[in-house]
Every structure is written in structure tokens, then in C-alpha cells.
Amino acid sequence: MQYRRLGNAGMRISAVALGGWINYGEGKIAEDAAQATVRRAYEQGINFFDIADIYGKGESEKQMGAVLKDYPRHTLVISSKVFWPMSDEVNDQGLSRKHIFESVEKSLKRIGSDYLDIYFCHRPDPETPIEETVRAMDDLVHQGKILYWGTSEWGGEQIAEATAIADKRNLYAPVTEQPQYSMLWRERVEGEILPITQPRGIGLVVWSPLAQGMLTGKYDDGLPEDSRFAREGWAKERYMTEANTAKVRALKPIADELGATRAQLALAWTLRQKGVSCAIIGATKPGQIDDNVAAADLVLGDDVVAAIERVLAGK
């Protein structure tokens, strides 16, 4: 496994991380398969596990935390997130100081840890001044509840405003942003986010780098029964278009030439982007972990990247 700095921060995270969305805490995959997959990730050198309060409404934090507690805490980088409503209570949502302070305690309890390595603001909150959120995160760092904080799916201007406030007031600034980024979902990151995050040393930890499995080629010949798109109709609608299917098929000879799988090719493509610190994958089986971690060692030459670009442009 390759370990990379989280932007300019000193902490190192595995180039491939495992996320706890949808596959954990929602009863969609069997408990023993979920546990075995998290264990395989750790055994394969993944140290970064990305969770959120909203995943399975707290159940993902519990399920992943129960496995991770078997490993020495200093060998793990655990994140959680705050923003989405956890109940109908008026203050049980958003990025107010009140919700942030109350949420972190609940996440820590569910995960079974004294601190989070990274705490993400899961979306921007138009109802709370950014300064209130930056101050709350800074306070949590001083309290030792979190070591670093970041944003997720914030706009470039919002990230710039948060860092400007932190710099002006001498507060801890966000060190990472978590956007969606893959061969099939790239415009916002490349056009809006990287120009803001890269010069500020903010590292991107990107989600759905396999376009929820689309880029692995598993949907080349239809819909396998035991797959994300068979379970989640909305995800199938989003990615499994005719154009995308054609592109993914056309990537096969490029991967074959390298002796790689298409999952590895897709992950290596995100990891080659300067400013990207890691790719956060999902996995339902230990074998998917084995396949995906190998991407960290796959270096794509300029000719390969150019060939990929031609495919993605539909040429």
C-alpha cells in the first residue's frame, strides 16, 4: 500500500480507503461479509476508514467501529461526518455549533473511540454562517475530540471562505475536501474544486471513484443479481447509460494491455491527479478489496492517460 499525506497535513492515509456508506449498517450485505471485508481492508494496508453519522443512521459507525476496535487505534485513521438530519428535531441537523458539538459526542460513542482523525462537514449549510462552523471545528480540535477537519461537496467559494476565516482568526483550517470524482464524474472537481484546494494544500479524498461499480466492467453484459445497481435503482439510472456502458467496455483493452483490471485502471486514474490524496472505495466482498488495493501501485504513463481520455471523450 502507498501512504500519502493528506494535502499539506502531516498525517498519512492509505491511497485507497474504505468507506462505510450503503454497504454497512443498512443490512444490505450479510454481517459476516461486512466484517470480513473491513478486516481484509486492514490486512491489505488500508488505514483510512471513512464513516458518517447518517450512514445507516448511526448503524454504519457502530458496525465498522465494532470491527476496528480490534486494531491498535494509532494504526487507524477514522473519519465521521455531520450535517444531514438525524431526526425531526429542529436542531438535529446542519452545521450549527450546537449540532456539531452534540453530534461529535454521539459519533464517538457509536464508533467506540475517544477522538476522530478527521471530521467532515458533510455539505455546506446555508442556514449557518461559515464562521460559526469554522470556530466550532477549531474548538473541537482544541478539545482533542478531532485531529483534523474537512468539508464534503462544498463549492470552491465556500472552501475559500472557510480557509480565509481560519487564516484571519488564527483558527484551524480545513485540510481536506471530499467530493465525488471518477472517470465518469469529473467536471466540478477539475473545473472548480482543484483550482481552490491545490494552492491551499487541501487534499481531496474522493468518493465513488468506481462510479459505484460501473467502472469495474461488472455491468458490461447486464445487471448481475448480487450488485449495487440491482439493489439501488437510482444508482443504476445515474450511471448505467448506453454511453457509459460503451466507454467502460472500450477501457477493457487499455486495462488488459497493462495486465490490470478496469477497477484498478479507474482508481489509478483518480490517484494520478495532483491534489488527490486518496480514493475512498466501497466493497461488499474481501475479493474486491484485493482487486482495488493493487491500484495504488499502478502507474499510468502519458500514452495510457491519453488513450483513456480519448475513450472518455467518446472518440
Ligand X SMILES: NC(=O)c1ccc[n+]([C@@H]2O[C@H](COP(=O)([O-])OP(=O)(O)OC[C@H]3O[C@@H](n4cnc5c(N)ncnc54)[C@H](OP(=O)(O)O)[C@@H]3O)[C@@H](O)[C@H]2O)c1
Which residues contact ligand X (rule: CB under 6 A)? 19-21, 23, 50, 152-153, 178, 207-213, 216, 218, 227-228, 263, 280-284, 288, 291-292
Which segments of 167-238 are extended strands (E)?
A: 176-178, 203-207
Q: How far is the CB of 250 from ligand X (least distance, A)?
A: 18
> Interior CA angle at 249 toward 245 and 255, to 5°?
135
Task: Output 19 or 203, the one with its CB closest to ligand X.
Answer: 19
All three cell numbers of 89, joined, read: 428535531
The active-site residue, picked from 3, 24, 42, 55, is 55
Are residues 172 and 141 in contact, defined by beta-carbon separation less than 8 angstroms? yes
Q: Are 167 and 125 in contact (CB under 8 A)?
A: no
Is 187 or 302 the residue whose CB approaches ligand X more closely?
A: 187
Rounded Cα gap, residues 305 and 137, in angstroms: 39
CB 27 → ligand X: shortest distance, Å? 13
What lies within 8 Å, CB to CB, of 204 at 6+ separation is: 176, 177, 178, 179, 181, 189, 193, 194, 197, 275, 276, 277
Q: How far is the CB of 224 from ligand X (least distance, A)?
A: 7
Strands (E), the chain: 3-5, 12-14, 16-19, 48-50, 77-82, 116-121, 146-152, 176-178, 203-207, 276-281
Q: Minimum CB separation from ligand X for residue 60, in Å?
A: 8
CA distances 207 to 88, 126, 127, 173, Å, are 27, 23, 25, 21
Known catalytic residue at 55: yes
**For ligand X, which is the closer residue by CB, 147 or 204?**
204
Cβ 293 to ligand X shortest distance, Å: 10
Pick the closer one to ligand X by CB: 6 or 144.
6
Beta bridge partners of 116: 146
Residues in the chain: 315
Q: Decide whether 23 or 107 has the Cβ nearer to ligand X.
A: 23
Residues noted as catalytic? 55
